[in-house]
Amino acid sequence: MEPVNDISPPTALAEPTASRKLSNLALLWGFAKAYPARLAAAFAALVVAAAATLAIPQGLKLVVDKGFGAGEGADIAPYFFGLIGIVIVLGISTSVRFYFVSWLGERVVADLRRTVQAHLLRLDPGFFELNRPSEIASRLTADTGVIEQVVSTSASVALRNLFMGLGGIAYLFFLSPKLTAMMLLVIPVVIIPIVLMGRRVRNLSRASQDRIADVGSIVSEVLRAIKVVQAFGAEQREEDRFGEAVEAAFLTARRRIAVRSLMTGLVILLIFGAITLVLWEGARDVIAGTMTGGTITAFVLASAIVAGAFGALTEVYGDFMRAAGASGRIRDLLAEEPDIRAPARPSALPMPPQGRLQFDQVSFRYASRPELPAVNGFSLDIAPGERIAVVGPSGAGKSTLFQLVQRFYDPSGGSIRMDGIDLRDADPAEVRARIAVVPQEAVIFAASARANILYGRPDASEAELWAAAEAANAADFLRALPQGLDTDMGESGSRLSGGQRQRLAIARAVLKDSPILLLDEATSALDAESERLVQDALEHLMQGRTSLVIAHRLATVRDADRIVVMDAGEIVEIGRHADLVERDGLYARLARLQFEPESA
């Protein structure tokens, strides 16, 4: 049969040029606009605070001209009360602005993290083969932390200072058009270094985030494998490797800081140098009597406000560049499309479930190894309730079959049908709901025993939960735990033995009560006592279910209805244990190696 679809190789996350643009921050606006009332409140408070700040020079002008310059007996209190009123408005509006802007920052980042996590959970395993989960986790934490700073702080600072800068310039024109025009001549001189040096800051900011992601990746990897690290005496090597990553991050950050420092200092030098020259000209006007003392005082204060506003804009510009890089990386994650998804109109699997599986000339190649077929021309019809063992040397394609049945991948040729429906025509979620899996390495979450068992069926009752634990031979050790079912299992089930973890995984599969069961040699790494308990639990679990069992220990599959022997992705033998031994083929050779090692 010809391939029915092409499997294009998944790609690693790219570093596109577009991710360095400020336009990436539009991603954040998409989340912020979901809260229009709080946006409006924050914006209104920001405008009021900026206006109050700009009103201070005018209030001071009146105090100087009408207060200090008034004759004896003049009532100067109104001018000072007016200035105090402006300060009160400024304080209240600043407090309101800070609350709503900070709230929006935290809310936007929380929504962004939830959105990214939800999207990642729907990507197929091929994506995670080419992209390290630890690096992705860093994007979900470090990059969103950078974004949080911009949304909750830098954006507010930028808008407030933009309003004060533009409003201040208008006010300066009102006070003295001549002096303001002189001051504005310096703007092109200030903008040029911002643009030129800003590009450098932008590139260094993105590089800095990449180095921080490397640091987080190493920490995550080493801590997950701490026992292996210590067992092989690799503490110093890992310390050195981590130190190199930290120093690389520091050197990149140092270059970014140096460029930002130079840019900030240069801009402030240019701005305040221009203000000094302008004030020199203003002082001459005061001496000549063409400008009042209050006017020059207001002009000085307003000029300082304008200079501070534009100086602050240059400082937050680097933050925006970092956030643009972080947003670009997050956007790249959200742009990833899963190769495995439900069709527009999925075919419903028949009810009640039967548990029939049909493989018709199935072929598959991993995108990372396209030259080597993992499965080639595999055909097999599995009846409901049948127990099938799959054996063969490493790399024969056994685990790949399990991946295809769960539709983590689609075959490049042929088809797989569940209860008569091609898996590509069905909703993957509905397919996986009919399958229970007990992997070779039990996956235990850092949660309670109860949460781990209920993972496959959260709505199960307490009685059903304990029934599953009894069936998995796990009830005794669960009752002996300090808090029973509510005992935390630790990272990856570190508080349990290998046999206990495996029985907990079996209890999870029992509770799910699916018609199809996939067992990936669940007893291969256990001692004799644990293996007996687990094997008993598996026998109970397989009753009445279609079972596919990957077996490395052939003694565990002697009673299978059929044994499928695979080699190089193909079926080379099918039969029962005694028949296959008599044929003296690959299975017989594997059996001799296990049962008669001295004659091998």
Write the DSSP string, 455-490: GG-TT--HHHHHHHHHHTT-HHHHHTSTTGGGSB--
Q: How confident is the model at residue 440 (pLDDT cuts 50, 70, 90)?
A: confident
The Cα–Cα gap between 113 and 133 comes to 15
The Cα–Cα gap between 401 and 550 comes to 10
Q: Which of 212, 99, 100, 197 is nearest to 146 (CA)?
A: 212
List CB contacts of 559: < 8 A, sequence separation 6 or more: 387, 577
Q: How confident is the model at residue 69 (pLDDT cuts 50, 70, 90)?
A: low
The Cα–Cα gap between 541 and 138 comes to 39
Instruction: Choose the most confident range, by mean pLDDT, from 189-203, 214-228, 421-435.
Output: 421-435
More confident residue, 124 or 351: 351
The fraction of the chain above a pLDDT of 90, given in percent, is: 3
Using the structure block, give the residue that is written with the tokens 């026998």.
539
Mean predicted confidence (pLDDT) in 373-395 = 88
Q: Which two tokens stand for residue 595?
A: 């049962």
Amino acid at 32: A
Predicted local distance difference test score (pLDDT) of residue 9: 42
- Residue 116 to residues 111, 135, 298, 331, 339: CA-CA distances in angstroms? 9, 14, 50, 9, 17
Domain boundaries, the chain: 28-335, 351-433+561-600
Predicted local distance difference test score (pLDDT) of residue 187: 65
Amino acid at 289: G
Tell me, yes or no, if the pTM score tops 0.75: no
The fraction of the chain above a pLDDT of 70, given in percent, is: 89
Using the structure block, give the residue that is written with the tokens 């059903």.
464
Report pLDDT digits (tens) over 255-282: 888 887 887 787 777 767 776 777 777 7
The Cα–Cα gap between 235 and 242 comes to 10
β-strands 413-418, 421-422: how paired? Answer: antiparallel
Tell me the pLDDT of the chain averaged across its residues: 80
Q: How confident is the model at residue 92 (pLDDT cuts 50, 70, 90)?
A: very high
Written in H, E and C, the secondary structure of 399-425 is HHHHHHHCCCCCCCEEEEEECCEEHHH
Predicted local distance difference test score (pLDDT) of residue 363: 92
Which DSSP symbol is given to 431? H
Mean predicted confidence (pLDDT) in 102-110 = 86
Domain 351-433+561-600 has CATH 3.90.1150.10: no
More confident residue, 25 or 589: 589
Q: Which two tokens stand for residue 97?
A: 């602005």
β-strands 562-567, 387-391: how paired? Answer: parallel
H helices of 12-76, where? 26-32, 36-62
* Helix (H/G/I), strand (E/B), else coil: 263: helix
Mean predicted confidence (pLDDT) in 4-25 = 50
The Cα–Cα gap between 488 and 482 comes to 9
Half-sphere exposure of 535 (CA within 13 A, CB side): 17
Helix (H) / strand (E) element for 228: namely: helix 226-231
Q: Which of 182, 177, 167 is nearest to 274 (CA)?
A: 182
Q: How confident is the model at residue 101 (pLDDT cuts 50, 70, 90)?
A: confident
* Helix (H/G/I), strand (E/B), else coil: 256: helix
Residue 566 pairs with which residues in a beta bridge? Answer: 571
CATH assignment of 28-335, among 3.40.50.2300, 1.20.1050.10, 1.20.1560.10, 2.60.40.10: 1.20.1560.10
Q: Which two tokens stand for residue 423?
A: 């898996």
Predicted local distance difference test score (pLDDT) of residue 43: 87
* pLDDT reading at 75 higher than 80: no
CA trace torsion 258, 264, 265, 266 (10° rounding)? 110
Start-to-end CA span in the chain (Å): 40
More confident residue, 583 or 553: 583
Mean predicted confidence (pLDDT) in 471-475 = 82
- Residue 464 to residues 8, 90, 442, 468: CA-CA distances in angstroms? 44, 62, 21, 6
* pLDDT reading at 44 higher than 50: yes
The Cα–Cα gap between 151 and 33 comes to 12
The CA R_g of the chain, rounded to the nearest whole Å, is 35
Give the Cα-Cα-Cα angle 323, 324, 326 (nearest 5 degrees): 60
Nearest-10 crossing angle of helices 77-120, 155-175: 150
Q: How confident is the model at residue 523 (pLDDT cuts 50, 70, 90)?
A: low
Using the structure block, give the residue that is written with the tokens 């932008």.
202
- Residue 434 to residues 346, 427, 461, 546, 561: CA-CA distances in angstroms? 16, 12, 20, 11, 21
Predicted local distance difference test score (pLDDT) of residue 321: 78
Mean predicted confidence (pLDDT) in 360-373 = 83
